[in-house]
Amino acid sequence: MGILVLGLMLFFTPHLLREFGLRQPLKDALPSEGAYMGLYSLVSLAGLGLIIWGKSLAPFQMIWQPIYELRSLSLMLMIPALICVVAGNVPLSYLRTLLRNPMLVGILLWSLSHLWANGDLASMLLFGSFAVWSSLKIFTLRNNVESKSPEFIWDIISLLVGLGLYVVIGLYHGELFGVGVSLA
């Protein structure tokens, strides 16, 4: 479990520098913006690798029993989660202007979906920490006023790509993450 916790700490540390007032001092201490981004990326990727490794090694300790008959709620939450994650990575859409940070909303929905379906300690640490982090970021990031007008085509692309990801991840969830999903 220690590797998972270390990975979470390494991943979230650079992602919370702004909230702790350390982003600009660290940027100023490094020789260039590229050095800052390189260090940020390196620490984040190391954290992500440790999260994956730590989750795979973590012992299964049940904390609460998810309600089997209501597992479809997790599957339903994943639809808007994936659409929002895509919307956060395309040019300006109406969804982005409405939600401000659709990727963070998508991560929050993803983490809540997985908390609903997983009652073991490692899952609660993993998905709970992402839920807390994304909620914090949603409320602390300023709303940047975009000078351009949103384009509806990016909402359509977000919807179609998000739904496509939902199908692919649903079909291959077992192969990708070791646990299959089904409604049966």
Domain boundary among 10, 40, 58: 58
pTM given for the model: 0.90
Query: Are residues 10 and 91 both part of a single domain?
Result: no
Q: What is the pLDDT of residue 151?
A: 93
Rounded Cα gap, residues 64 and 115, in angstroms: 10
What's the number of domains the chain is made of?
Answer: 2
What's the mean pLDDT when you consider all of the chain?
93
pLDDT of 58 higher than 90: yes
Q: pLDDT of 68-109, one tens digit each?
A: 888 889 999 999 999 999 999 999 999 999 998 999 999 999
Structural domain boundaries enclosing 11: 1-58
Query: Are residues 111 and 31 both part of a single domain?
Result: no
- Per-residue pLDDT, averaged over 46-51, amounts to 97
Domain boundary among 58, 83, 99: 58
Query: Are residues 146 and 70 both part of a single domain?
Result: yes
Would you state the structure tokens that stand for residue 63, as one six-digit string? 């904390």
